[in-house]
Structure formats: C-alpha cells, structure tokens
Structure 1
Amino acid sequence: MFLPARRWRLPYLALLTVVGLLLSASALEAYRLSGGTRPWEPFLWEFSSIAVIGLLVLAVHALVGRLAGRPWPQQLAAHAVALPLFSLLHIAGMFGIRLLVYGLAGVEYHPDALPTLLVFEGGKDAVSYLSFCLISRGVWMAQAANARAQELDRARRELAEARLARLADQVQPHFLFNTLNLISSVMYEDVARADRLLCDLAQLLRQTLAAQQRAEHSVADELALVQPFLALMQARFGPERLVVQIDADDAARACRLPALLLLAPVENAVKHDVARHRGRVTVAVSARREGDELVLTVRNQGEGPAPEPLPPDPDGGLGLRNLRERLQARYGTAARVDFGPEGRGMALHLVMPCGC
C-alpha cells in the first residue's frame, strides 16, 4: 500500500543506496580510526538503518497525505502517536537486522541497553520524523499543484474546443437559408449556376464538419474552407459588388494553424463591409511564410460611397476576440494580432509560428 508508483521505485532505491554508501563511507573512516577490524560493520550499521527508514518514510508520506486538509489538532494528535511508533519500529527493525547478520557471521554483538537506545535513537528519530513530514508535505503540495495545473489545462482545452465549435457555427442558419433561397431563385433560369452553388455549399458544409473534428490543419486546408464560402458570397452579392482575391505561397500553405481560424474574420469582412457597402468591395486573403513565422492577412477595400460607420469596437467584435484568445491559448506571446483601418477599408494581420 505504501509502495511508490512503479516509475519511482528504481530511483527511490537508487537514492537510498547512494545515501547508505555515503553514510557508510563516513562511518568507515571513523571506524578505522577507532581500531575496528571488520570493515563490513559500518556498512551493516548504516544500511540496516537506511533500509528500515526507507520503508517507514513511505508510511509517513502516506500518513501526511491522509491528514492533509484535516484540522491541525487532529494532525498533531496523529503525529503524536505516529512519532513514537516510528522510532520503536526503526529501532526494532534496525537492530533486528544487525542481530541477524551478526548471528549468521558468528560474531558477537552487544548493543547498548534499551533505555539508552530509546533516548539516543529516539532523539535522532524525532528530528528525522519531523524532516520527513516537512518534505512529504512539500511533495504532496507539489503534486496537488501539478494536478490543479493539469485540470486547468484540461479546462482550457475544453474551452478552446467549445470556442472552436462556436466558430464552426459561423455558417449560421440565416446564411444557409439565404444561400438556398438564392439557389432556388436561379435554378430554373441558370441550372449550371445553381449546380455550382450547390456544389460550393456542399463543399463548405463538408469542410466545416471535417474541421470540427480536428484541432489544427494546414493553411491549404483552411483556404479550401474559405474559398467556397467566398464563392457563395460572391454569388449572393454578384461579382460587380464583391471581388475575391486569395494569394498564398507554397511555403505558407504547408504551415499548420488552428482549424477554422480564418472563417470568422472573412465572414466579418463580408458581413460588416460588403453587405453594408453600396459600391464594389475587394476582400483579399493572403498567406506568406517569413522565416519561422506564418503571416496571414484579411483585407477589405471598398469603392464608392462609404457605408455608415459601425459603433466603435477596438477588439473588432466577438469573433476577433475569440480569435485573439485562441491564439493566446495556443501560442502565447509568440502570436500577434493587429486589426484596424487601412485605406478605405479594414485589415487584419495575424502572425504566428509556422508549425509544419
């Protein structure tokens, strides 16, 4: 019950062995100076103590763990009982081993009288017991902190997955209904166009569902998701109002990034500019690799009369706040997000490590 986890058993035995050898080497020198003639005796003395202590420490560690969180009076009462028991077991086990080995070796062994042993060894055991309790308390606290950190990390991963699912829902029902209405309105006039729209919609839904099943994918996969979305938007507003530009070099396409990272910014560019702009708007998505970094840009530039301004939002809306939080959780300070006006439109610049 008190054995350490399997992966710690060998290191623990190695530690006890090293401590026993160091103490034995020190005792051997004093033993020789005092005229001792059996060099194995200091090793027996020290290792008999270390062996018993090694087992008792495991029990002390388990006791400290069981007492954690209980009121201090209960803990003090338990330790008041455990300390003398610790000392008695140490003394009994240590001298039991010694008497056995001396008996097998045919050498007489005369330990000190029991009252002397109890006083001498008991004092050392009290110091040892207190030290072990403090060390054990620190170990339990470290393990609890590590468990809390793992739980926090798990909660963060679950939150990131929830945000990912929420971002996947950017293909909102009203967008789906508008697209189906668009297809319905042209299917009798332009069957080929209606067929293309259905194919683009099916590809978008298929890609979105697939992206929900993985945490990250390549830039090429992300663009394969963005392209049918923009194609549908272009069909909805017409090529005279929405111009789409996608530019990504091969090195950037091979980089990996969180799935569905660009869909929300691109959707925002359409919803907050094209849908409100009276003239033609160009939505441009670019990706390039600069050293070990991936640089993504989403721009929208309008022509003609400017749309009515939206209420100011320095974060760029809920979608971009989620984007910032996802990048912060995934890359920390290695990722940067810049969003603001550029020319007659807005621009979003994302910089993150290029994972391949």
Structure 2
Amino acid sequence: MPTLTDLLQDFAYARGRYFKLHKHRDEKLWARLLISSAFALFFPTFFMSLGVVFGDAQIGLAGVLLTYLLGFFIAFSIHGSYRAVELLLPEARLQRLNRGGPYSSLFFGGVPVLIMAISFFVFTQLLRVFADVRITDSPFDSMRAASRFLFISLIFALLSAFISWQANKRKALQLQATEAQLLRLQAQIEPHFLFNSLAAVQSLIDPAPERAKQMLECFTDYLRASLGTLRLQTCSLDQELQAVQSYLALMQIRMGEERLQFHIDVPAELRALKLPPLLLQPLVENAVTHGLEGKAEGGTVRLSARLLDERLHLRVEDDGLGLRAAQRRARPGHGLALKNIRERLDARHGDDAALTITPGEQGCVAELVLPIEAQPTSKNDDQP
C-alpha cells in the first residue's frame, strides 16, 4: 500500500515530465491523467468566467455540466494526440522538439489549438447524433466568437511555449555552468595522472626502453583522445571509447598485464551515437583506481554497451575490491567525479538519464542510461 509520500513523489515525477515529449513513459498513469484532468477543469472554468464577467452569458446547471464534459473531451484528446506523436516520431525528433526553437514553439503552440477546434467539432457532432442535443451558444456560432475563442487559445499556447523556452534557456545555462565545473575538476585531477604517467615513462627509459616507448605512445593517444573530446559539448561513443581504451592500455603497462585486463564489448552500430564527453572515463578510472590498484592480484575491467528501449545502456564492471574499496581512498576527491556526472546528466537530460553504482563483495558495477542524442549534431561537435 503506497503511502501519501509515495503518491506525492509519483505525482511530482509525472509533473516534471508532463510538458516534455517522451517515447517511453515510466511515470504513473493516474498521475498523468490527474494533470490532464486539472486542465480539463481549469479551461472551461476560465472561459465560463470570461463569459459571465465580460458578456451576458446565462449559464445553467446543464450548461455547466456540458461545458465541463467538453473540457474533459478536449483535454484528453490533446493528451492522446501528444501521446500518438510520441509513439510515431523517432526519439531524435522528439528531443529536437523538447530543446525548443521556432519549430518547437509552432508545434507546442499550434497542436493544442488545432486539436481543441477539432475536438469541439467532433463533440458537438456526437451530441447531435447520440443525444439529439444541439449546442447553439458555442464559440463557433459566429466568426467573431470563433475568432475570440481561437485568439484566447492561441495566447495560452504561446504563453506556454514562451515559458517552456525560458525553462530551456535556464537549463542550457545550467548545463554550461556544469560543463565549466567539469573543466575545473579535470584541471584539478589530470595533473596527478599526467605527472605519474610521465614519471613512469622516465623510470622505464633505461631498464626497459621498448616498454617506455610503448607507454609513451599510449600516453600520447590518451592525451589526443581525451583533450579532443574535452572541448566538445557532444562526442561520439567511439571517441569516448578511444580515450577509455588509451587510458586502459596505459594503465595496463603501468600495472602490468598480469594485474590489469580489460574487455570492451560495444557493437559497431552503436559507436556513432552521441553522448556528453567524459562520462565513461571517470567510471573506468574509478574501477581501476579504487577497485583494482589496491588488489594484489589485480583484475579485469569490462565495458559494454547495449541499446534497450531507445536508450543507451553503458556498463562498466570490475572484479576488484568492491565494498572494501570504501575503506580506502586511493586519492583525494573520491566521489566528486560521480557527483559531477550526475549533475551533468540532470542538467542535460533530467529524469531521462541515470547513473547507478552497485558495489558487491567482489567488484563494482557502474551503469549509465542515456537517451539517444539527436542526429546529426552541430558542426562544432564534429571538430577533432
């Protein structure tokens, strides 16, 4: 039996997702229907109030009930129309509409007005056929009344689109601030890794020059891949994997192949998908630094990607210390990278993305779930 707190949380979650297009709806159906019902009650009340205050409308009980019945018919017609759009359009198109812009404003402003007019016509015809009731005092009795009705409806739709645009603008600013925080975090963390890697190369030059050369090549590949994606707002999964693979190859030389093995299982058709940069690398670094480096015999890092329900599932798994890793902190700032990832996901995708960390007795599993980024990306995203 759900508690009142559970119900309120379910409603808040549905409200946060209600005004965005989502192909997969995991919120409670009753919560979505409740929000649509609130609109079904508000707009008839608003229009009847206008008629009473600014006109000479005389509304009886039958008229009130009929008006609210019409309100529910229109509200759930709009609800159903948007749901049909979500199911018919590809995920990339839905995300473009969610991001705002002229076409998005036209879509979110025009669809409610169009469905409202169609629903009203259908409703009156159904009343005439099945109940032999004719609505004579309607917004479409005259051109003047119809114009007033459509004008007020359009004002509401445009106001809603403007509010949505402002929300998207604030979200974009929040994303920029979060990305700037990422750059500062990387600037704090990277020198430790860079200096350690250079020191390791230097220590191998005399006793093992071939190994030092190999390590330097991996180090160069890592810098090229990681610094290249650091300048982008969006990169391909393949670019992210190149940085991760270079990092793992470098760490394999430092730790020894007998202590560090890695496997990357990502289908070729997924490698072109877009995602925010530097999401996988901190998870892999955590697996190595906190899971395997402190384990005498080392272990294996496994990275996999799957496409499930139009979402990209990225999984980083290790067989290292697991729960025991919490008892030791290999370096300062443990946990900041995960916090940063969650803030970036929330700023960019909201509830559509998630990061879960599941430590076990042996090893730890980190899983990222991301919506499919819109394709193609901007020119800036394709720069090296």
TM-score normalised by structure 2 residue count: 0.50
Query: How much is the aligned-residue C-alpha RMSD, in angstroms?
Result: 3.4
Letter in 1 for 2:248: L
In the TM superposition, residue 292 of structure 1 has moved relative to its aligned partner by 1.4
Closer/same/farther in 2, CA of residues 143 and 249 from structure 1, 3 Å limit: closer
Match of 1:298 among 304, 316, 323: 316
User: Does the alignment pair 1:275 with 2:289?
Assistant: no
Q: For the residues of structure 1 that align with 2:268 and 2:198, how far apart are their CA atoms?
A: 34
The yes-or-no answer on 1:309 pairing with 2:327 is yes
Aligned partners of 1:351, 1:154: CA distance in 2, in Å?
Answer: 21
Residue 185 of structure 1 and its aligned partner are, at CA, apart by 1.4
Report if aligned partners of 1:280, 1:303 keep a CA contact under 8 Å in 2.
Answer: no
- 1:244 is aligned to 2:249: no
1:323 and 2:341 correspond: yes
Whether the 8 Å CA contact 1:241–1:281 is kept in 2: the answer is yes
Aligned counterpart for 1:287 among listed residues 305, 313, 321:
305
1:229 pairs with one of 247, 270, 274: 247
Residues 288, 154 of structure 1: alpha-carbon distance in 2 compared, 3 angstrom cutoff: closer
In structure 2, runs of 5+ residues without a counterpart are 1-155, 376-384
**Is residue 280–residue 304 contact of structure 1 (8 Å, CA) maintained in 2?**
no
Change (3 A) 1:268 1:166: farther
The residue type equivalent to 1:249 in the other structure is P
Equivalent positions of 1:70-89 (< 5 A) are: none
Question: Equivalent residue of 1:240, what SS?
Answer: coil
Following TM superposition, by how much is the alpha carbon of 1:167 offset from its aligned partner in structure 2, in angstroms? 5.1
1:74-129 deviations in Å (ceiling 9; x for gaps): xxxxxxxxxxxxxxxxxxxxxxxxxxxxxxxxxxxxxxxxxxxxxxxxxxxxxxxx
Counterpart residue number, 1:219: 237
Question: 1: distance between equivalents of 2:179 and 2:242?
Answer: 21
Q: Deviations over 1:118-154 (max 9, x none)?
A: xxxxxxxxxxxxxxxxxxxx9xx99996896466234
Q: Is the contact made by 2:266 and 2:304 (CA closer than 8 Å) also made in structure 1?
A: yes
Matched AA of 2:210: A
Task: State the number of aligned residues.
Answer: 218
Residues in 2 aligned to 1:156 and 1:222: alpha-carbon distance in whole angstroms: 23
Distance 2:326 2:352 in 1: 36
Specify which of 341, 345, 348 is matched with residue 359 of structure 2. Answer: 341
| 8 Å contact kept, 1:168–1:260 | no
Of residues 372, 381, 384, the one that matches 1:354 is 372
User: 1:247-262 alignment to 2 at 5 Å?
Assistant: 247-262=265-280
Aligned in 2, Cα 1:281/1:157: closer, same or farther, shift over 3 Å?
Answer: same
Contact (CA 8 Å) 2:316, 2:365: kept in 1 or not? yes
1:1-356 correspondence to structure 2 within 5 Å: 149=167, 152-166=170-184, 168-169=186-187, 172-302=190-320, 309-310=327-328, 317-342=335-360, 344-355=362-373, 356=375
- 1:288-344 residue CA offsets vs partner (Å, 9 max, x unmatched): 222411110111103899667248xxxx82211111111112112111222112450
| SS state at 1:172 partner | helix
Work out the CA distance in 2 between the residues paired with 1:305 and 1:164: 27
Q: Structure 1 residues 332, 211: CA separation in 2 closer, same or farther (over 3 Å shift)?
A: same
Amino acid at match of 1:234: Q
Q: Does the residue aligned with 1:344 lie in a helix, a strand or coil?
A: coil
Give the distance between the partners of 1:166 and 1:305, measured in 2 at CA: 29
**Distance (Å, rounded) in 2 between the aligned partners of 1:340 and 1:190:** 39
Identical-pair percentage: 37
Residues 317 and 364, structure 2, Cα contact 8 Å, conserved in 1:
yes
- Aligned equivalents of 1:332 and 1:279: distance in 2? 40
Hey, what's the Cα distance between the residues in 2 that align with 1:203 and 1:147?
41
Matched with 2:120 is none
- Whether contact under 8 Å (1:170, 1:263) holds in the other structure is no
Supply the distance in 2 between the matched residues of 1:170 and 1:244 (Cα, whole angstroms): 27
SS of corresponding position for 2:294: coil
CA positional deviation for 1:277: 1.6
Amino acid paired to 2:212: A
CA 1:186–1:329: 2 relative to 1, 3 Å: same
SS of corresponding position for 1:245: strand
Check whether the contact 1:338–1:348 (CA below 8 A) recurs between aligned residues. yes
Gaps in structure 1 of 5+ consecutive residues: 1-137
Q: CA shift at 1:162, angstroms?
A: 0.7
Aligned-partner Cα distance in 2 for 1:305–1:336: 21
Q: Give 1:115's aligned residue.
A: none
Which structure has the larger Rg? 1
More off after superposition, 335-344 vs 144-153: 144-153
In structure 2, how many angstroms separate the alpha carbons of the residues matched to 1:152 and 1:211?
Answer: 24
Does the 8 A contact of 2:312 with 2:371 survive in 1? Answer: yes
CA contact (8 A) 2:218 2:249 kept: yes
